[in-house]
Amino acid sequence: MSAFAYRNGELHAEGVPLSDIAARYGTPCYVYSRAAFEAAFDEYSTAFAGTRHLICYAMKANSNLAVLDLFARLGCGFDIVSGGELARVLAVGGDPAKVVYSGVGKTEAEMEQALAAGIRCFNVESAAELDRLDAVAGRVGRRAPVSLRVNPDVDPHTHPYIATGLKESKFGIAYQDALALYRRAATLPNLDIRGVDMHIGSQITEVEPYREAATRILELVDALRAEGIALAHVDLGGGLGIRYRDEHPLRVAEYAQMVRSLFAGRSETLVFEPGRRLVGAGGILLTRVLYLKPGTPKGFAIVDAAMNDLVRPSLYDAWHPVDAVRPRTGDVHPWDIVGPICESGDFLARDRHLALAADDLIAIGAAGAYGLAMSSNYNSRPRACEVLVDERDTHLVRRRESVSDLFAHESVLPRDRAPIT
């Protein structure tokens, strides 16, 4: 059963009517379901039960502390992409030994911070980064655990902005360069070679690209072993898709079956970096209709959430489900659901057939991943609040920003000089 379902004519989050949440916390508001997050983790972890594995939640999808805390309590690790993310993991008491660190642009300060914390592995994405990490580790007197992110050059059949494993992508090390770079890594004094890593893209709905990519990665692992470079883990990345519209996302069990058969009889620990799959379906963006602008062939429903709150439709042309919290009977019209921002690209959904009136509440579905995490203050709009629902309880896990928060870090020039005339 979905965590968001209608009861008595009203959309609920678990046991709580969304209108109660709007009344208590205001709109726009992200609403998350604890049960949905935990069920998604459970699906992953059940699928790999009995294998040596570590699930590292790719926390850039939703890095709210309450969400991280829930996953940490379940024994989940984290895939981070910045020092800020590492600080969040540590803030909730997450285990640094379950942290893998991805990203093409780690700074020296971030490397030092991660070495001091004792993370499990750096996923190194270039030869230059490898040298830098060796030097930093030497300077601070530690050995850096490393894995190379190898680009298997496989097309994941997804949106170009979220395909990351093609050879023209900025991510990872070209497959044909990987062997030589491992050889070099083995000669660097301050590195410990631990594994190999791949992440071929996001919102992937088929198993084939994974099979192809993982097969290539295992060929590399075997070639390395033949040279005396043994890898303790293979990190297959994240990217499993969810249902936004009519996709048929692959079941984790189906993915796991493929992985299990490829790894049968092998000794490497499996590492996974799911992001969207763990949190996407467990969140909605709750917003209120401010004004209706009827028109032909379609009208505009202007709501109090905008592209600064949820940028996916504008950025990726992503389709999110839109549902009235209390569907009304009456004439259905096609509406573009748009925000107050001064950009024509500011839309949350287009051409949705709904019966709407001003002040109605609307839920933008499947917004738990890359929602608030990608939000901005464009147009000086305070960020939305985040509410985590746990059965009949609601918890405000991020308060709505205030307008004074918006310019708390800004200042004006001193007044001691006359303006140039």
Ligand X SMILES: *Cc1c(COP(=O)(O)O)cnc(C)c1O
List interacting residues with ligand X (CB under 6 A).
58, 60-61, 79, 102, 199, 202, 237-239, 273-277
Q: How far is the CB of 206 from ligand X (least distance, A)?
A: 14
**Among residues 281 and 354, whose Cβ is nearest to ligand X?**
281
Say how far apart CA 15 and CA 33 lie, in whole Å.
10
The C-alpha angle 88, 89, 95, rounded to 5 degrees, equals: 160
- Out of 29, 56, 121, 342, the active site residue is 342
Say how far apart CA 230 and CA 222 lie, in whole Å.
9
Say how far apart CA 76 and CA 293 lie, in whole Å.
47
**Among residues 48 and 335, whose Cβ is nearest to ligand X?**
48
**Among residues 103 and 339, whose Cβ is nearest to ligand X?**
103
**Among residues 276 and 383, whose Cβ is nearest to ligand X?**
276
Q: How far is the CB of 175 from ligand X (least distance, A)?
A: 17
Bridge-based pairing of strands 299-303 and 283-293 is antiparallel
Written in H, E and C, the secondary structure of 103-163 is CCCCCHHHHHHHHHHCCCEEEECCHHHHHHHHHHHHHHCCCEEEEEEEECCCCCCCCHHHE
Asked whether 333 and 294 are in contact (CB, 8 A), the reply is: yes
Angle at which helix 208-226 crosses helix 252-263, to 10 degrees, equals: 20
Length of the chain: 421
385 is catalytic: no
Q: How far is the CB of 369 from ligand X (least distance, A)?
A: 6
Say how far apart CA 417 and CA 409 lie, in whole Å.
23
Sign of CA dihedral 328, 331, 337, 343: negative
Q: How far is the CB of 86 from ligand X (least distance, A)?
A: 14
Closest CA to 44 of 367, 370, 262, 273: 273
Asked whether 65 and 92 are in contact (CB, 8 A), the reply is: yes
Say how far apart CA 290 and CA 166 lie, in whole Å.
43
Closest CA to 292 of 361, 356, 375: 356
- 242 secondary structure, DSSP code: -
CB burial of 153-167 (b: ≥16 within 10 Å; e: otherwise) equals bbebebeeebbbbbe
Q: How far is the CB of 6 from ligand X (least distance, A)?
A: 28
Q: How far is the CB of 260 from ligand X (least distance, A)?
A: 20
- Whose structure tokens read 């917003």? 287
Closest CA to 371 of 360, 384, 361: 384
Per the DSSP assignment, residues forming a β-bridge with 196 are: 148, 234
**Among residues 17 and 275, whose Cβ is nearest to ligand X?**
275
**Among residues 27 and 202, whose Cβ is nearest to ligand X?**
202
Q: How far is the CB of 418 from ligand X (least distance, A)?
A: 51
Tell me the residue number closest to ligand X, measured at CB: 275
**Among residues 16 and 372, whose Cβ is nearest to ligand X?**
372
Q: How far is the CB of 202 from ligand X (least distance, A)?
A: 3
**Among residues 11 and 236, whose Cβ is nearest to ligand X?**
236
Catalytic residues: 342
